[in-house]
Structure 1
């Protein structure tokens, strides 16, 4: 094992994503026995530690101070202290602080041990109703519209189930972008996983968007699971015209966005689709 005998161990400890009972016996034991706990938000983590009567010293380690804290934690490990890293919810370094610390500790050839447990991505995937044999975790996409669209376009042909995290404030905009770029795929939105108001909305992306628009307020972090690209479809010109006529009757997308959606879905050039849409509009008028 790549460790120094006199050095301590860094434990990456998964904590509940909502329900405080979703923690392993081993995690509680480790948190009680280590010399120090590095937490994403000490105020938030005190609730969990108090619930299990864990009195280990607590220090902060979040995205804004991770670089500075890394040097201190490595020094403590080299001095023989055992340290646990926890995030606000779920597994540290999975769309949470921790990656930089783990990389630096591994570079120093010090011991790093995972204490497995909750992950909203895996919990939600297991009940999504989508394929689980192959999946791609993408976490939070860029907030800026253009960069988000570029990120979605880069995974259009990915066949694995896609997993995203998003805030309740931005979830509708994300789903709307997905409909345009990925097409109206099957999906599952998981909200408030393991909490009192836990909810799962399944259907096509348009169905989920409609359900969200009917809510006055959307609360809780969201996990979104989207079907990967299905086997490539081939269509002739006559079929393309029928598809376009059908979509024109129901879509609110503009000509360019609709052309992009159909082009990606059926692997037809965007120009061909665009020209056919214009032709169909002329016939209707």
Structure 2
């Protein structure tokens, strides 16, 4: 990353721990502390050399699901001791983990896939470990959020990751309404079964925006489908739920001068002379980028002769 105000002649500074890496492989100890360690999101080759070193040297590897992590360990011949750490046992496990850290343990934290703490358990452990003065560091790597952003073809200079939306439609629409004015690209995780409904709600709450649906990232059947929210909602409504884990990337609201109600009414009245209420609303939403619900309510009022 670079700052446009930085000295153009400045070069990034890199450090090398190649010597330390070699000593770890020969059996030397890893410094005590908590190591937040990214793992692949699909392709096992995406793990870093540094992550492999730490996982091999750690006294304990905290796993969201030990069965998932054991498959990765089998590929790389890692025989580290694994312990489950997830939403259901975190409150019970944290004091025990902190005790181990206090005694000088080297503990790695991984999730099933990607970077821990990004829609995965872990932030309370990191917070409490820091508060108690333990060494905490990160081993960055794969992230479905970052992978989807780089493939979507949408602005990346400012983005907001919102995780999973509510499974209930009313709450989901309320959440989307709160996000509508945010001047940034939005990133969501979603289940395959709710994909079409969520995209339709996004189209209504956020207005007409470009978006991308990314699934199976880094895997054999990786797919990124791009289009407007309306187009993507119609596609998945017809095609059905796709396979794989899904990331939705939605472009930011288009910059526009504020429109007064008279201007919006004039656009609607003109469209209503040529089209049905549904089509007129779609036309004005596309022109203004305003939420469909707002435009639809005003269109009904105008078509019924209201003020």
TM-score bin, normalised by smaller chain: 0.7 to 0.9
Conserved? CA contact 1:36–1:58, under 8 Å: yes
| Deviation digits for residues 180-225 of structure 1 (CA, Å, limit 9, x no counterpart) | 1111210000011111211101010111122223325411111000
The aligned residue for residue 269 of structure 2 is 241
Conserved? CA contact 2:281–2:296, under 8 Å: no
Distance 1:54 1:136 in 2: 36
Does the C-alpha gap of structure 1 residues 209 and 274 become closer, same or farther in structure 2, counting only changes over 3 Å? closer
Structure 1 unaligned segments of length 5 or more: list them. 1-6
The aligned residue for residue 47 of structure 2 is 23
- Pair 1:250-2:273 in alignment: no
- Pair 1:143-2:177 in alignment: no
Give 1:14-53 correspondences, 5 Å limit. Answer: 14-53=38-77
Match of 2:244 among 199, 205, 220: 220
TM norm structure 2? 0.80
Aligned residues: CA RMSD: 2.8
- Pair 1:84-2:113 in alignment: no
Match of 1:104 among 104, 112, 128: 128
Moved more, 83-92 or 209-218: 209-218
Distance 1:192 1:267 in 2: 30
TM norm structure 1? 0.86
After superposing on structure 2, the runs of 4+ consecutive aligned residues of structure 1 that deviate more than 6 Å are none
The aligned residue for residue 201 of structure 1 is 225
The aligned residue for residue 117 of structure 1 is 141
Does the C-alpha gap of structure 1 residues 182 and 73 become closer, same or farther in structure 2, counting only changes over 3 Å? same
| Deviation digits for residues 142-183 of structure 1 (CA, Å, limit 9, x no counterpart) | 222222111111111111000000111111111111111111
Distance 2:147 2:297 in 1: 41
The aligned residue for residue 186 of structure 1 is 210
Does the residue aligned with 2:249 lie in a helix, a strand or coil?
A: strand
Count of residue pairs the alignment pairs up: 270
- Pair 1:280-2:300 in alignment: no
Moved more, 132-141 or 97-106: 97-106
Does the C-alpha gap of structure 1 residues 243 and 84 become closer, same or farther in structure 2, counting only changes over 3 Å? farther
Does the residue aligned with 1:137 lie in a helix, a strand or coil?
A: strand
Does the residue aligned with 2:239 lie in a helix, a strand or coil?
A: coil
Which structure is higher in RCO with an 8 Å CA cutoff and minimum separation 6?
A: 1
Moved more, 157-166 or 101-110: 101-110
Distance 2:271 2:249 in 1: 26
| Deviation digits for residues 121-143 of structure 1 (CA, Å, limit 9, x no counterpart) | 00110010100000001011122
